[in-house]
């Protein structure tokens, strides 16, 4: 076997081991995952030196399509979830943990506003940059997140129209050691209730670090 073939074989082996770690630890043993994630990923990062995108970690999870309802950041009780963590696909309250990617608000005219986490606050010692990009109005037609890094609007609030599709680029901690340490989603605000200050949102998240496809099922891209 050539040296190049041996490198790819080694990379795929460690990528497969990483997949086993994800399935058995991050999903079934969350407490253990929290305690061991940094050590395990550091060791894998060392083992994967010299690998390229062709040998990235295989996708482990199907893409997730879900609907959420959230309160606006301003004008709703603190107990009202007003933010989304795309990695967990959870809606969360705006508390001191700042464990989310984007929060939602309504401006003075009742228009939806998407607010990246760094603009709301950052937990001590952490950084969670978020990029947004407008993608038109055809939700189904947006099948993949944009590849150009220069077109993302980083850490800036974005006022959007009802039905407008927004791509979201987040960087959760579990992706930090990946070849491309980002997680991608697309979302659109379907409607708002300006009386209750609620927003109703459709989201698709690709929960595999570095993968961009929004097509149903297990992504290959």
> For residues 12 and 115, which has the higher predicted lDDT (pLDDT)?
115
Q: What gap in Å lies between CA 106 and CA 34, rounded to an integer? A: 35
Supply the range of the domain harboring residue 39. 3-55
**137 in the same domain as 28:** no
Total structural domains in the chain? 2
pLDDT digits (tens, 9 = 90+) for 142-186: 999 999 888 999 999 999 999 999 999 999 988 887 778 999 999
pLDDT digits (tens, 9 = 90+) for 38-73: 555 555 555 555 555 555 678 999 999 999 999 999
**32 in the same domain as 76:** no
Q: Is the pLDDT of residue 195 over 90?
A: yes
**114 in the same domain as 199:** yes
Residue 167, judged by CB atoms within 10 A of its CB (0-12, 13-18, 19+), counts as buried
Q: Specify whether the CB–CB gap between 25 and 36 falls below 8 A.
A: yes
**176 in the same domain as 155:** yes
Q: Is the pLDDT of residue 138 over 80?
A: yes
**68 in the same domain as 51:** no
Question: What does residue 39 show for φ and ψ, rounded to 5 degrees?
Answer: -65, -45
pLDDT digits (tens, 9 = 90+) for 207-216: 999 999 999 9
Q: Which of left, alpha, beta for 32 (phi over 0: left; psi -120 to 50: alpha)?
A: alpha
């Amino acid at each position: 076997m050539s040296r190049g073939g041996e490198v790819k074989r080694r990379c795929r082996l460690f990528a497969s081991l990483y997949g086993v770690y994800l399935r058995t630890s991050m999903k079934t043993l969350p407490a253990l995952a929290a305690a061991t994630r940094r050590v395990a990923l550091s060791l894998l990062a060392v083992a994967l030196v010299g690998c390229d995108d062709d040998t990235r970690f295989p996708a482990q999870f199907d893409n997730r399509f879900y609907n959420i309802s959230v309160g606006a950041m301003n004008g709703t009780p603190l107990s009202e979830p007003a933010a989304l963590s795309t990695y967990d696909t959870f809606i969360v309250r705006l508390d001191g943990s700042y464990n989310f990617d984007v929060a939602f608000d309504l401006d003075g005219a009742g228009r939806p506003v998407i607010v990246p986490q760094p603009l709301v606050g950052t937990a001590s010692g952490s950084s969670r940059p978020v990029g947004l990009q407008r993608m038109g109005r055809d939700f189904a037609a947006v099948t993949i997140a944009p590849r150009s890094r220069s077109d993302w609007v980083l850490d800036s609030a974005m006022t959007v129209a009802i039905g407008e599709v927004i791509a979201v680029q987040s960087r959760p901690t579990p992706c930090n050691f990946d070849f491309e340490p980002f997680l991608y989603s697309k979302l659109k605000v379907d409607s708002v209730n300006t009386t209750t200050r609620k927003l109703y949102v459709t989201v698709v998240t690709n929960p595999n670090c570095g993968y961009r496809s929004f097509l149903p099922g297990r992504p290959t891209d």
